[in-house]
Structure 1
Amino acid sequence: MYTASTAFLDALSEAGVTHIFANFGSDHPGLIEAIAEARAKGRTIPRVITCPYEMAGMSAAHGFAQVSGQAQAVIVHVECGTQALAGAVHNAAKGRVPMLIFAGASPFTQEGEMRGGRNEFIQWIQDVHDQRGIVRGYMKYDNEVRTGRNVKQLVHRAMQFAGSEPRGPVYLMGAREVMEEEIADPVTIDPGQWGALAPAALPEASVRTILDALAKAERPLVVTSYVGRNPAAVPELVRFCERLGIGVLESVPTAMNFPHDHPLYRGNQWNEPRQNQALADADCVLVIDSDVPWIPTINRPAADAMIIHMDVDPLKEAMPLWYIGARHAFRTDAATALGQLNAALDAAAPPDDVVDARSRHHGAASAARREGLAALEAGATDAITPEFATACVRRHVDADTIVLNEGITNYPVIFNHMQMCEPGSIFTSGGGSLGWNGGAAIGAKLAAPDKTVVAMTGDGSYMFSVPSSVHWMAARYGTPFLQIVYNNGGWKAPRFSALGVHPDGYASRADDLDISFDPVPRYADIAAAAGGAFGRRVERPEELEAAVAEAFDMVRNKGRSAVLDIWLSRS
């Protein structure tokens, strides 16, 4: 039989999907049969990755797309599985990561009228008014498959939305009867007619507007968060900044946007309660691909600074409150726009003395910053500091390593002390829902099997990641990765938030804020029990270097995942 489910699988393959991250349920007999038939007949379909927990599965699709650039598919069970995707939906939407989510739906017949009708009690309980509405606010596109005769068109249309900037997740659903429908005349699709929209360029006149504003400035600065999600944009940004002597400041970075060893790199900013000096000194700020370029109550440009904004999503349409006072704003693809600006500089570059003066200024500040970071890495003799721990990991990282950063309160420590320089070498989820790192590590390893994947996580985000499911998946599908747990004994971020609002309140004097994880779980043992991972708890600074070396050896040479539970100073 050629059914709607068969057509669905064919459409995924046509759209470039190579992996299905699946959590099957009673709504999927048509898909399960179609998969079994394809395997029996030797027909190519995407590889199925069984995901015991939906959020871990969607996070794996997230990590795969970040590393490869190619959207994958996630299959979940009716509205229950849709809800169990949990914060992964938020992360994919806010991180602008493309993927297709497909959920079954309760059958709509109950007296044997059609194949796939109701035959289990749960199908009445799982019949809800608006299943698509559960995730509609986070999807670029959502629809219901109502007939197998156009399932291919719906899949390709959904993938076209997912892959067009600003990219993001899409959602389809289909009832059992629909997915069982036999199709006498299968639809033939030309995938070339359903491609993502071409990258948007700057209007020609605005190229001159931007370059003129930068030419008049004494201290121009680029601020970015995610220009590096497209690795091709990074060398264009480096070339552009070198030619103009412009410093680069990252704000809440989600990728490797600019080489950290470059003399024009001015560091990264997060929630630090202080004014960033590079931003304060800037008289012209070019914001490229950033959702939060600064926090205005704490840290902002000078009132008379010229602000120019280039972004795939300059209006931030999903954010009800957003503005940065930009004099000029452009919806454009960063790699394309920077290429245009560089081409214009070929014809009219600024004077060398201007560029040299700017470069010397940023170079001196960049060198001082690196000296300060090196001093922090010395650590302490009686406790492990996060800076010392991160430097130990960095010494084992090479050009074939991908780092996933979900350190939360240690986000900046990891970015600062890993000092990544290669495009595509480090990522965060791009969102604010914790638990992405474990599933994402599996997806990253599937997308780049020859790379070493290192997931660096807080103890809270480790618990959120459902490590029992994650490490079972890693063992089953041969995706070993190293997971570094920054164990500070609980949720540190809520403490910082409370003290930020009530610095002298009762919380500042309380011993217990209900955010500790005492008694402390044995995190490494969870991974060992679920997937046979190597696990080790490290409590002393002198033990750490050997433990990190052993863990990397397990992952790289023995094909085994490893978890290092690093106990940080509790001060």
Structure 2
Amino acid sequence: MSERARPAFDAPEAARSTAETDPTADDPAETPPADAEATTGAESVVAALERAGAETLFGVQGGAIMPVYDALYDSELRHVVMAHEQSAAHAADAYGVVSGTPGVCLATSGPGATNLVTGIADADMDSDPLVALTGQVPTDFVGDDAFQETDTTGVTAPVTKTNYFARSADEVGATVGEAFARATAGRPGPTLVDLPKDVTQGETRADAEEPTPDVPEPRPEADAESVAAAARTLERANKPLLLAGGGVVKGDASDELRAFAREYGVPVATSMPAVGAFPEDEDLALEMVGMHGTGYANMAVTHCDALLAVGTRFDDRLTGGVETFAPEAELVHVDVDPAEIGKNVAADVGLVGDAGTVLAQLDAELADADDHAAWREQCREWKAEYPMTYATSDDEPLKPQFVVEAFDEATDDDAVVTTGVGQHQMWAVQHWTFTEPRTWVSSHGLGAMGYGLPAAIGAKLAAPDREVVSFEGDGSFLMTMQELAVAVRENLDLTVAVLNNEYIGMVRQWQDAFFEGRHSASEYGWCPEFDTLAEAFGAKGFAVESDDEVADAVAGALAYDGPSVVDFRVDPEENVYPMVPSGGANGEFALSEDQL
């Protein structure tokens, strides 16, 4: 029998870091002095996290990552033991969204690492800062199909900004520090360091006080010629529209966006990741645009003659059919990542730079703009024509939109909302009035069901003094419900509102609209009693079936000092509207199924 070929995954050469391939990057580690005190690679990992400013970690123990956990035993870093590695990644992701600093998750080799991948991919799609640390079999075993061996750097290469295979105890601290820094440099995103057990157990005399490596930042300013061209485009406009993308929130540019819009009287629409970047209770706010965006935002983007888009990648849920997107507009596209300019939608003027910096440049370059009063009045008319309302009657089941509005009214403006993915996600973003950035935390690009509860855990630990409400669907909640054990153990004061319709609701809605009502694998017909399960976990459980029970349940859940779950048995036939069919034109949104 012929010998099987050794896999290409060879530890010393695997997954070269950016620092190794970039000649301008700093050497990750100097040769340590011989008389330095000996420590372990694992201690270097923990020291690097402490120096970088990490405070809270999320993870699950295991054999290959055990040396790092042993080093954490003597550290002041807070570690939260999650019930599943996917949830550890989601919690770390949400922690990064709310705090603006990288969340950190840990897992062992093999299944631990692969279970992180969904959360890492989610952070990559949404440009969220995240650092993943994974255990790995000893380097001598790599490529031999050892117990719980996986080519983690190979698996995660497509969904990380950069990843690293730690090759020595002397270098591992600097490598972790660099990974932390790169997670927020320029366009944020996830990084990963794979940690072979012999590296973390190995002895090193590398300086424990070595600073976090400097990572080059992209140039924050756009070039002056492009700024001037963009300013002339906006000055010519009669119907300008500002489209805020997630990059406005990631770049902490909400203040600059608000000042710009107010100074020039420009209406503002947002992509879903940018919700909260501009206050939705202001006259200029058109709220979310796209597949389930407001009718007035979709009308505005369809009829504007100049579109200033800041920090958006123009994904298909926002644009609908690209050929029909903003058909009358000259497009000025601002993004910190040059790869996004013209990637999905052709830009008339591209401005590469930091969102807040470029908005300030535009402000300085713009002459006094026209008042655009007629355009703003047109936007107000669209608001009146296409309000975000829903039908109710005394003999109908509980409406999920009503539940969202009840929680919104009962909570502070800075409350954080997390969601899973599905109909409940859309009802939450449509019927909650967001006025602050970093208060909306959801899975946008990847659309990962089960995101809501672990995200609520991460959000609460990032903002312990703020209210946290997680909206989940019954299907989404069932995927990560075990994290209630974590919320109870950590005594986290958060509330989960399950909008329970006993369906995979968005799938059912599409099946009714496009598959002749054939409910294949979308209809549960039975669900557990989520309030009873909450009590079994040690949380407070509530069950609600009618409108007149909502107020008391919302008040009771929010008042409870600890995790609470409210099982809202909502109308199983309720659908999410407005809706732009996939690939359709934004200006041709449907308000009911018969318009699809």
TM-score range, shorter chain: 0.7 to 0.9
Match of 2:407 in 1: 393
Once the two structures are superposed, the pairs formed by residues 131-146 of structure 1 within 5 Å of their partners are 131-146=152-167
Alignment partner of 1:414 out of 395, 415, 428: 428
Q: Secondary structure at the match of 2:110?
A: helix
Match of 2:31 in 1: none
Q: Does 1:148 align with 2:169?
A: yes
Q: CA deviation at 1:563?
A: 0.8
Q: Closer, same or farther in 2 for the Cα pair 1:251/1:542, shift >3 Å?
A: same
Match of 1:356 in 2: 373
Alignment partner of 1:201 out of 221, 224, 230: 221
Q: Closer, same or farther in 2 for the Cα pair 1:367/1:204, shift >3 Å?
A: farther
Match of 1:190 in 2: 211
Q: What's the Cα RMSD here?
A: 2.7
Match of 1:476 in 2: 489
Q: What TM-score results when the alignment is normalised by the length of structure 2?
A: 0.83
Match of 1:303 in 2: 327
Q: How many corresponding residue pairs? A: 530
Quick check: 263-272 or 378-387, which moved more? 378-387
Q: CA deviation at 1:427?
A: 2.3
Q: Secondary structure at the match of 1:186?
A: coil
Match of 1:541 in 2: 547
Q: CA deviation at 1:243?
A: 2.1
Q: Secondary structure at the match of 1:527?
A: helix
Q: CA deviation at 1:517?
A: 1.9
* Structure 2 gaps, min length 5: 1-37, 574-596
CA deviations on 1:186-234 (whole Å, 9 max, x unpaired) are 354123x525626622212222222211111111112233144248422
Q: Secondary structure at the match of 1:411?
A: helix
Tell me the amino acid that sits aligned with residue 519 of structure 1: W
* Structure 1 gaps, min length 5: 39-43, 111-116
- Contact 1:400–1:450 under 8 Å retained in 2: no
Tell me the amino acid that sits aligned with residue 268 of structure 1: M
Distance 1:152 1:565 in 2: 46
Alignment partner of 2:304 out of 282, 289, 311: 282
- Contact 2:42–2:71 under 8 Å retained in 1: yes
Q: Closer, same or farther in 2 for the Cα pair 1:367/1:498, shift >3 Å?
A: closer
Q: CA deviation at 1:564?
A: 1.0
Match of 1:114 in 2: none
Distance 1:437 1:26 in 2: 29
Q: Secondary structure at the match of 2:346?
A: coil
Q: Secondary structure at the match of 2:101?
A: coil
Distance 2:245 2:422 in 1: 16
Q: Does 1:508 align with 2:516?
A: yes
Tell me the amino acid that sits aligned with residue 481 of structure 1: L
Q: Does 1:54 align with 2:54?
A: no
Match of 2:529 in 1: 522
Q: Closer, same or farther in 2 for the Cα pair 1:197/1:413, shift >3 Å?
A: same
Q: Closer, same or farther in 2 for the Cα pair 1:378/1:314, shift >3 Å?
A: farther
Q: Secondary structure at the match of 2:260?
A: helix
Tell me the amino acid that sits aligned with residue 263 of structure 1: D
Q: CA deviation at 1:11?
A: 0.5
Q: Closer, same or farther in 2 for the Cα pair 1:108/1:303, shift >3 Å?
A: closer
Alignment partner of 1:35 out of 55, 68, 72: 72
Match of 1:459 in 2: 474
Q: CA deviation at 1:66?
A: 0.7
Distance 1:508 1:194 in 2: 57
Distance 2:469 2:440 in 1: 9
- Contact 2:314–2:344 under 8 Å retained in 1: no
Distance 1:196 1:479 in 2: 38
Once the two structures are superposed, the pairs formed by residues 226-245 of structure 1 within 5 Å of their partners are 226-230=246-250, 232-245=252-265
Q: What TM-score results when the alignment is normalised by the length of structure 1?
A: 0.86
CA deviations on 1:46-80 (whole Å, 9 max, x unpaired) are 21111120011111111111111111321101021
Give the % identical residues. Answer: 24
Match of 1:157 in 2: 178
Q: Secondary structure at the match of 1:150?
A: helix
Quick check: 270-279 or 148-157, which moved more? 270-279
Q: CA deviation at 1:108?
A: 4.1
Q: Secondary structure at the match of 2:183?
A: helix
Once the two structures are superposed, the pairs formed by residues 247-266 of structure 1 within 5 Å of their partners are 247-266=267-286
Q: Closer, same or farther in 2 for the Cα pair 1:454/1:106, shift >3 Å?
A: same
Tell me the amino acid that sits aligned with residue 447 of structure 1: A
Q: Secondary structure at the match of 1:434?
A: coil
- Contact 1:264–1:366 under 8 Å retained in 2: no
